[in-house]
Structure formats: C-alpha cells, structure tokens
Amino acid sequence: MSGSTQSGLAAPALEGRAAPVVITGGSGFIGCNVAESFLRDGRDVVILDNLSRPGVRQNLDWLKANYGERVHPLIADIRDLEAIEPVLKEAGAVFHFAAQTAVTTSLSDPFEDFEVNARGTLNILETLRRAGRRTPVIFASTNKVYGALEDLEMMELDDSCMPISGDVQHQGISESRSLSFCTPYGCSKGVADQYMVDYAASFGIPTAVLRMSCVYGPRQFGTEDQGWVAHFLIRALEGEPITVFGNGKQVRDILHVADAVTAYRLVLDHIDTAHGQVFNLGGGMHNAVSLRIVLQEIRHITGLKPAVEWADWRPGDQHYFVSDTARLRRQFGWSATIGWREGLRQLFAWLRDVRGLGRSSEEERLTA
C-alpha cells in the first residue's frame, strides 16, 4: 500500500450505526475476502486502501456492487496520519493488511518499504492509543520474520526438500522459533510485528499477530514478487512462461483464503485471550508442497504445459517453511479444512470463469 493519497469516505456517513470494521489494505486479496465475510454478516466495513496494487480496484468494485452502502471506501495511505485518524478513532475493530509486500521492492527502495510497513503500522497504533479506546487490532505478519532458516539442515528429494530434523519434519516451525529478520522487507514487517506485541504489553491495546505462510485463492492477482500460487496459474492460463527462482524444490504450506479468513475472525472473536499473542497461520503439514509439485498439478488441472524458466535464488528465500499451527488449534479449534489440490482447482475455476483466463474465443462467444 504505497503511492499518492486521496482521502474521503465515498459512502454514506456512519453516524448512528454500529462501529464499523476497518480493514487497511481492504481492497487487497486477503483484505477483501475478510471484508466480504463481515459484509455477509450485515456489518459496515471501511475499506482503507490507496489502490496502488494492480487489480485491487476490481476487488473494491466487486464489494460495492454486492454490498452497496455498507461498503465505505476511504482512499488513503496509512502513512498519511491526518487522513486515517478520523476513521480509525471510530473503528469497532481493525484488521491491518496494508503493506509493501515484495522483498525485491524492499531491496531497491528500503526507505519506501520502511515507511509503509513500519511507520504506517505505528501510525495506526498511535492513533488508537491516543483515542483512549481498547480497539482490537489484528495484524497480518509474515513467516519472513523467522529469516532464511539457514540453520536447518536439508535433504534433497526428487521434487522437493525436507529438513533433517525430525521435530521440524513432523511439526513444522512454531512461534517459539527465534526471530531473525533478513532483507529490508523482513526487517520492516518484523518491526511492525513487534510493535503490535509491545503495544499490547505497554499500553493495553488488544492486538494479535498472525504470521502467515503462503495464502492463495479467489480475488488474488498474483505477481512474480508476491502471490506465487496465483501467479503460476495466471501465467499458465495466459500461455506465458513461468520463472522459478532457485531449484523449485523449496516447500511451503499453502493455505486457502477461506481458511485464513476463518482464522482472522476467530482471533478477533477471542481477542480477550488472544491479546498480545502471535500465531503462525499456514496450511500445515497436509498442505506442504514444493513449487515443482504445484507446477505438476497446474499441468494436470489445466491440461497445459507452461514453459518454465529458471533463475538464481532470491535473497532471504527459505528453502523450507511449514507452519506449526498447534497454537491456533489449541486455543480456538482452528485447522485448515481445504486441501491444496481442491483449493487449486477452486482458484483455477475462478480465474477461468470470473476473469476469463484460458478460455477459447469460441467458449467466450457461447457464454456471452
């Protein structure tokens, strides 16, 4: 969430209504899915977004078309304290997704990365502290706060890699893992992550942090730098080559966005006990797959064989990350319910049927 700022609520005033849910980055992939879940429940939602990312304006238009006057767009940047203060002070809860999300961008412009991720987050927390209200804030952090995990010894298999440590093999990476920021992106998100934890301890702001692995699903406009599952599918359906950085054997526990939304809602519902805590959020062992395996499944479900181009490893890229989500399960009964193959088919259907990718001109003519 970066770029120019233009503030102003474009929807009816909220006076006399229940305090709205404010979602920073609410036009983004996860933000708009969380927004839609509250709108379905009849809540008013403020979408605080500067609309800088490709595709997100489409998500905002989709929300407005389906939920009308209960969607309140505030086109603003979280770095603009004056613009965001009024709506944050009236929030019933805040979900903070707005961010600079690409490691590559952080390497080319560390100042921009810091201003959005670190200072932008502090703007939100300070606004709520000065308002003197105990407004819950749920923050979208990242597995990158654990660093590159270079201390993990790995064994290489045919199409994936696996840690030698039995504990990590069977349980994944837990929240007890030491933080080890690397790359400017990891540093800026890590700073924001720790500010969230500290504002709960120092000022009593009811915050909680979700350190996410790779989330995918409908409403995602993946790019080479962020949202790789959707990006791979989009490139395949467009008939374009896919660039894989490294050897493609790196493993992630991919999580469908519907399961991510459930986790965010549960944490808010239990903020009295979640207060000040961090939780790993990912697909877990049952959804741990390598890039190569995802490419194989894309070929299977699409019937296409996209060209793959290989490039050097990117800075800070983890060879293996699988979340230990036991803390979410123990405290709130959460677990991933959508298997990665089923989820990939759902994303394929959305890209094909809603966005029209991969459809022949004859198919488009017949369904027009």
Other Cβ atoms less than 10 A from the Cβ of 306: the count is 19
Q: Tens digit of pLDDT for each residue in 115-131?
A: 999 999 999 999 999 99
Of the candidates 367, 334, 146, which has an alpha carbon nearest to the alpha carbon of residue 258? 334
The model's pLDDT over 324-352, given as tens digits with 9 standing for 90+, comes to 999 999 999 999 999 999 999 999 999 99
Report whether pLDDT(16) > 90: no
End-to-end CA distance of the chain: 35
Contacts of 351 (CB under 8 A, 6+ apart): 230, 233, 234, 237, 357, 358
Cα–Cα dist 226/261, whole Å: 19
Considering only CA atoms, which of 90, 106, 92, 10 is closest in space to residue 49?
10
| Residue 54 located in a structural domain | no
Tell me if 86 is assigned to some domain. no
Q: How far apart are CA 339 and CA 319, in angstroms?
A: 22
| Total domains in the fold of the chain | 1
Determine contact, residues 279/328, Cβ cutoff 8 Å.
yes
Query: What is the average pLDDT across 195-210?
Result: 98
Q: Which domain holds residue 345?
A: 99-356
Determine the 3-state secondary structure of 65 from DSSP: helix
For the segment 50-83, what is each residue's pLDDT rounded down to a tens digit? 999 888 999 999 999 999 999 999 999 999 999 9
Look at residue 88 and tell me whether its pLDDT is greater than 50. yes
Which three-class secondary structure state does DSSP give residue 241?
coil
Answer whether residue 118 is part of any domain. Answer: yes
Using the predicted structure, report yes or no on whether residue 368 has a pLDDT greater than 50: no
> Is the Cβ–Cβ distance between 253 and 320 less than 8 Å?
no
| Domain CATH for 313 | 3.40.50.720
What digits encode the pLDDT tens for the residues 249-266?
Answer: 999 999 999 999 999 999
| Model confidence pLDDT, tens digit, residues 157-202 | 999 999 998 889 999 999 999 999 999 999 999 999 999 999 999 9
> How does residue 367 score in pLDDT terms, banded at 50, 70 and 90?
very low
Q: What is the mean pLDDT of residues 224-242?
A: 92
Q: What is the mean pLDDT of the chain?
A: 92
Which one, of 248, 217, 238, lies nearest residue 304 by Cα?
238
Q: Is the pLDDT of residue 10 over 70?
A: no
Does 180 map to a domain?
yes
pLDDT category at 361 given cuts 50, 70, 90 is: very low
Contact 224, 214 (CB under 8 A): no
Percent of the chain topping pLDDT 70: 93
Q: Is 14 contained in some domain?
A: no
3-state secondary structure of 279: strand
Q: How are the residues of the chain apportioned to helix, strand and coil, as percentages rounded to the nearest 5?
A: 45, 15, 40
Provide the pairing of β-strand 93-96 with 21-24.
Answer: parallel
Residue 363 has a CB neighbour count (10 Å cut-off) of 12
Is residue 49 a part of any domain in this protein? no
State the pLDDT at residue 170.
92
Strand, helix or coil for residue 350: helix
| pLDDT confidence bin for 228, thresholds 50/70/90 | very high
Residue 40 tokens read as 């379905």
pLDDT at position 222, please? 82
Is 60 exceeded by the pLDDT of residue 240?
yes
pLDDT tens-place string over residues 270-282: 999 999 999 999 9
What average pLDDT does the segment 215-237 reach?
A: 91
Q: Look up residue 189 and give its two tokens.
A: 């998100």
Nearest by Cα to 144 from 114, 170, 173: 173
Instruction: Return the beta strands (E) in 27-114 as ranges.
Output: 45-49, 71-75, 93-96
Active site residues: 185
| Domain assignment of residue 1, yes or no | no
| Whether the predicted model's global pTM rises above the 0.85 cut | yes
**Rounded to whole angstroms, what are the CA distances from 32 to 15, 17, 35, 103, 230?**
23, 21, 5, 23, 16
Q: Does residue 247 register a pLDDT over 80?
A: yes
What would the two tokens of residue 286 be? 């049952």
Residue 66 falls inside a structural domain? no
